[in-house]
Amino acid sequence: MVWSPDSDDPLYLKHWGGLVRAAGIRYDGHPYLDSVDVSTVGYWGEGWGPYLPSWQRQKELIDIYFEVFRRTPLLMNFDEPHALEYGVKQGAGWRLDCWGDLGGRGKGMMHMLDMYPQQVVRTGIQDAWQRFPVSLETCGTPGHWKQWAGGYSDAQLKEIFDQALRWHATSINIKSTPIPQDWKPVWDEFQKQIGYRLVLRRFSYPNSAKAGAMMPVASWWVNKGVAPVYGEYKLAFAIDKTVMPANVDLKKWLPGDQVFDGSLYVPDSVKPGAHKIRVGILDARTGEPAIHLAIQGRQADGWYELGAIDIR
């Protein structure tokens, strides 16, 4: 027997809504908080169950999250289509909790092939990934996949991975469990494909520049992943330790080719002589490099060395 409270009761809205509001006031925008699930009602708080409240009450519970979490990304749970569609339209990403189920649990339905792909389309959330993250939770664990139906074949594992890429997934929750040893190579390659993967293909700049003046640069990038960067990050170049921010919105760097051509101001504090020019993607909060690029040349401080330049 599973017990569920009466979420239509005004006390449920008062007390659960009060907890969510308090959490938002305290933690919205916290640098250690990557995202927040919109947890409302049901056995696991995922908006699903046989005792759902009225839609008005469900909507009130969802709205509280958008009221108090204005900086931390929200993720809308998947199983109740009305709530899923509403939450994504309000500005949430989405998550589902049974990625990898190909009928191995023996319940007469395969989430991966029956429910999930169709519900994405029916709720109109196919393009939400362009603005908000998509997060997947494994059905069971990868270790369970080794046991279900005699163990998933390589072809089945590839289909599970391919579906995650079709959904433009950024993060995968495997519930803090190990990946089976013989699957590690294919999982490592899969991890390189989800989310963003930024590659600097070409960077052009003059051999010399003048301190206190603008310096022209041209750069060609490729996002080899399946999603953009969703957080607050800034592209920047540096002459040794002097940072020169670039005027570019990384959230718009969808998969494929990207270009930043423009001018960088070389501060007059840079001393004449030979220097190293570097590139990094910085956390907007700290101003420090925070994202690993898929290129060589990474230094101990997180910047990537690109070459030499003479400052006059």
How far is it, in rounded angstroms, from Cα 282 to Cα 99?
A: 32
* β pairing state of 134-138 and 93-99: parallel
How far is it, in rounded angstroms, from Cα 251 to Cα 130?
A: 9
pLDDT tops 90 at residue 17: yes
Q: Among 163, 191, 219, which residue terminates a domain?
A: 191
Would you say residue 228 lies in a domain?
Answer: yes
Q: What is the mean pLDDT of the chain?
A: 94
How far is it, in rounded angstroms, from Cα 17 to Cα 27?
A: 15
pLDDT tops 80 at residue 105: no
Q: CATH number, domain at 231? A: 2.60.40.10
What pLDDT sits at residue 107? 63
Per-residue pLDDT tens over the stretch 137-157: 999 999 999 988 788 999 999
The pTM (predicted TM-score) of the whole model is 0.92
Would you say residue 229 lies in a domain?
Answer: yes
Residues 172 and 273 sit within 8 Å (Cβ to Cβ): no
Average pLDDT over residues 21-50: 92
Indicate whether 254 and 166 sit together in one domain.
Answer: no
Average pLDDT over residues 191-197: 97
What pLDDT sits at residue 108? 64
- Residue 271 is classified by DSSP as P
Average pLDDT over residues 33-40: 95
Q: Among 160, 191, 222, which residue terminates a domain?
A: 191
Tokens representing residue 25 in the block: 């006031």
Please state the length of the chain: 312
* Long-range contacts of residues 12-18, Cβ cutoff 8 Å, at least 24 apart: 12/41, 12/53, 12/57, 13/57, 13/60, 13/61, 16/40, 16/61, 17/60, 17/61, 17/64
What pLDDT sits at residue 104? 63
